[in-house]
């Protein structure tokens, strides 16, 4: 057995929550890969008022929300968050930052004392300040090293990319990315 197979076995007996935000389903695909290995509860963040379909419109709205510190209202409700020991938190890079809905989640739910494993997809520019902001909001969490991989490039009309070889690559990257947990 490889260490990460053992890791997956260890996590299977813990209370694992996987929370993610995803628009074009790349982050969702990574969340599902993690879920397949660790089990637990998989939760997608959904908003009361969805973002516009149009790419330019969402980019503009997110820039405004970031500038004003606006926190969108979540439709998603998570029961008994206190029962989870490990929380995987996944999000796309938006404007080189943590997306506003993920800020809403982190501010709404008490994650103090939990072990957080962040993950991210982006269009080639990396996670930006996402992992740092997560750590700042969740000061009393134990935030492990994050895992980031290239996803879609919606600006160029490239939406979902997490299939075939890319999916296999992510599986491998996730394993090494989670080595700190071992
Ligand atoms: C509003 C918005 C802003 C984005 N800003 C960035 C960015 O600053 N840097 C980057 O690399 N990708 C950016 N992207 C691209 C996404 O991070 C990338 O396509 C990601 O894989 C999408 O994940 P998803 O399919 O789970 O929604 C942005 C996408 C959107 C919709």
For residue 90, the CA-to-ligand 1 centroid distance in Å is 12
The pLDDT of residue 172 is: 79
Instruction: Give the C-alpha separation, 118 to 46, whole Å.
Output: 18
Q: Of all atoms in ligand 1, which is nearest to the CA of residue 62?
A: 1
Please report, for residues 105, 122, 130, 176, the alpha-carbon distance to residue 102 in angstroms, rounded to integers and kept in the order given. Answer: 5, 15, 10, 25
For residue 80, the CA-to-ligand 1 centroid distance in Å is 30
ipTM of the complex: 0.99
Give domain 3-174's CATH number out of 3.40.50.360, 3.40.1160.10, 4.10.490.10, 3.40.50.300.
3.40.50.360
pLDDT in tens, the chain (182 residues): 556 677 777 776 679 999 999 999 999 999 999 999 899 999 999 999 999 999 999 999 999 999 999 999 999 999 999 999 999 999 999 999 999 999 999 999 999 999 999 999 999 999 999 999 999 999 999 999 999 999 999 999 999 999 888 888 888 777 765 666 65
Indicate the domain borders of the chain.
3-174
Instruction: Give the C-alpha separation, 111 to 41, whole Å.
Output: 15
pTM value?
0.93
Q: SS3 letters for 69-93?
A: CCCCCECCCCCCHHHCCEEEEEEEC
For residue 6, the CA-to-ligand 1 centroid distance in Å is 33
């Amino acid at each position: 057995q490889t260490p990460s197979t053992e890791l997956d076995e260890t996590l299977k007996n813990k209370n694992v929550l996987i929370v993610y935000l995803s628009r074009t389903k790349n982050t969702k695909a990574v969340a599902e890969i993690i879920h397949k290995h660790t089990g637990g509860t998989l939760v997608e963040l959904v908003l009361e008022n969805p973002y516009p379909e149009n790419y330019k419109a969402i980019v503009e709205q997110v820039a405004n929300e970031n500038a004003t510190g606006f926190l969108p209202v979540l439709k998603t409700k998570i029961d008994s968050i206190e029962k989870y020991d490990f929380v995987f938190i996944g999000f796309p890079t938006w404007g080189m930052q943590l997306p506003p809905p993920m800020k809403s989640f982190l501010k709404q739910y008490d994650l103090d004392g939990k072990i957080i494993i962040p993950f991210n997809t982006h269009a080639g520019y990396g996670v930006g300040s996402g992992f740092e902001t997560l750590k700042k909001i969740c000061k009393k969490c134990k935030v492990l090293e994050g895992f980031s991989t290239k996803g879609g490039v919606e600006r160029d009309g490239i939406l979902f990319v997490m299939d075939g070889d890319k999916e296999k690559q992510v599986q491998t990257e996730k394993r090494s990315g989670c080595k700190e947990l071992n």
